[in-house]
Chain A
Amino acid sequence: MTSSPELCSNQREEGQVARNTPLMIHIVPGKCDFCGCCVGVCPEDAIELMEAEIRIIDARCTNCRKCVWACPWEVIEFHREGIDQLPKVVSLPQERTPSF
């Protein structure tokens, strides 16, 4: 996909993004704390959060980037070129919680 002129270069910067573009939201593996801040601001119910797994629901995401700004840990990134080759699902391989 080619980048359109209205998209800005800074990953965090605000700008117009058309609906129906390929998914441009990318979750960096290994960094997510599964806190749910992104889910709380998502107007499209496009993020699914489980105990140790988070996924963007491609069909619902409009690339609005609210989740990118909301993420306290900078786990969610915006990529202008679309992310077909990047993971959309991030999970932890094992149980994450200690027993006590």
Chain B
Amino acid sequence: MKDRYDVIVVGAGPAGSTAARFAASGGASVLVLEKDRDVGYPVRCGEAVSHEGVVQFIEPDPRWIAATVSRFRIVSPNGKSIAPRLDGTAYVLERRIFDYELAKLAVREGAEIVTKAYVYDLLRDGEDVVGVWAVVKDEKVEIRSKIVVGADGVESRVGKWGGIDTTTSIHDMESCAQLTLSGIEVEQGILDFYFGEHVAPGGYVWVFPKGKDSANVGIGISVDQAKEKSAVQYLEEFVQKKYPNAGILTRIAGGVPCAKTCDKIVKNNIVLVGDAAHQVNPTSGGGIISGMIGGMIAGQVIGETISKSDIAHLKEYADRWHKRLGWRHEVFYGIKEAISAFSDETLNKICEDGLKLPEEKRTVGGIFRTALWNQPSLLLDVAKVFFS
């Protein structure tokens, strides 16, 4: 490790490693600092991604694919379910290997990675940010850089130190808990989502197969619905009912910022990517691919910025992100708000109406159109969200 780089990336998750990879391939000298001892561990993720999302960055490899799925199923509060067709396939990942491979891609482009390196503040020269303060091998060190990338996840503090408010409102934060269960019967090839105010208020329970008799069984609930009862209580009730005799292989917690992208993702020479920038699909809570897209765009712009020696060029990242995905996340945010306002009766009705559709018309759009047709009042609920 040197004492000076063009770019320091804080955090070696998918977004950080991807930012490092593209910044390095664009000619920047890059250091990635990861607070944990291992890249990719502990995992804090349901681990599902689409094939078309992931192939933009890395060739699918059976070593980090725990299961391949081609359908998803929505279980409504009364227990009826509908399985709309999925365009293409999706994977349930083995994140501890996947994240490793992404980090290797960054290293191959010339980035350096140091683990067990905790960044605790920005290094300043007067008002200017000129690097970071970190604890590396139990020693406090200052490392200089022209640009600092905050890829430090939902718990991001890099943005806050740099004057960007990354706090997630309790309405938008999903409080998540997940058990990896084994010795259970799991239908293969399908992702299950359970909805309902008594199952997961303001969120859903997921069951993602991870091999023959295992699955990630997790929950996300909106924090403002968690004042009376926590995520773990809802999850334990679900598991007790559905998988009472399962073996528990992992037990993890996490938070997902199901919000629009932060108002600012660049300020002077500070750049935010991934969960730190709230680059999460607010409807699904999925953030692996969108974080990597954010990381890629940031990395590319950083490469250009370094070769032009023009820090003002960094702003380009925010514009490109917004054009590529940011605007879509704003639409998805509206959809999330609409869905979370649906009562259990409404969800049951949507599911029942959808089931009346012929199999080939059971797409997400088809089900949504039918729901609106049968319950015009839904249109009002949706419209309220979009036009408020």
A interacts with B: yes
- Report chain B residues within 8 Å CB of A100: 38, 41, 96
With A36-B154, A41-B167, A97-B42: A50-B35 Cβ-Cβ less than 8 Å: yes
Taken together as a complex, chains A and B put the C-alpha atoms of A67 and B301 apart, in Å, by 35
When the two chains form the complex, which single residue of B96, B167, B232 contacts A72, counting CB atoms closer than 8 Å?
Answer: B232
State the majority secondary structure of interface residues on A. Answer: loop
Please determine whether A35 and B255 come into contact, CB atoms closer than 8 angstroms. Answer: yes
Please determine whether A41 and B223 come into contact, CB atoms closer than 8 angstroms. Answer: yes
Taken together as a complex, chains A and B put the C-alpha atoms of A11 and B38 apart, in Å, by 36
Please determine whether B253 and A14 come into contact, CB atoms closer than 8 angstroms. Answer: no
Which of B170-178, B354-362, B363-371 is the contact stretch? B170-178
With A97-B36, A97-B42: A36-B155 Cβ-Cβ less than 8 Å: yes
Please determine whether A12 and B41 come into contact, CB atoms closer than 8 angstroms. Answer: no
Q: Is A81 an interface residue (CB 8 A)?
A: no
Q: Is B153 an interface residue (CB 8 A)?
A: yes
Number of A residues whose C-beta is below 8 Å from B? 32
When the two chains form the complex, which single residue of B37, B226, B232 contacts A97, counting CB atoms closer than 8 Å?
Answer: B37
Q: Is B322 an interface residue (CB 8 A)?
A: no
Q: Is B264 an interface residue (CB 8 A)?
A: no
Please determine whether B155 and A49 come into contact, CB atoms closer than 8 angstroms. Answer: yes
- Report chain A residues within 8 Å CB of B257: 40
Of the A-B pairs whose beta carbons lie under 8 Å apart in the complex, a sample of 13, sorted by A's number, is: A13-B228, A36-B155, A40-B167, A40-B168, A43-B167, A69-B170, A69-B230, A70-B173, A71-B175, A72-B176, A73-B177, A73-B232, A100-B96
Please give the residue numbers on chain A whose beta carbons come within 8 Å of chain B beta carbons, in ascending order: 12-14, 33-43, 45, 48-51, 66, 69-74, 95-100
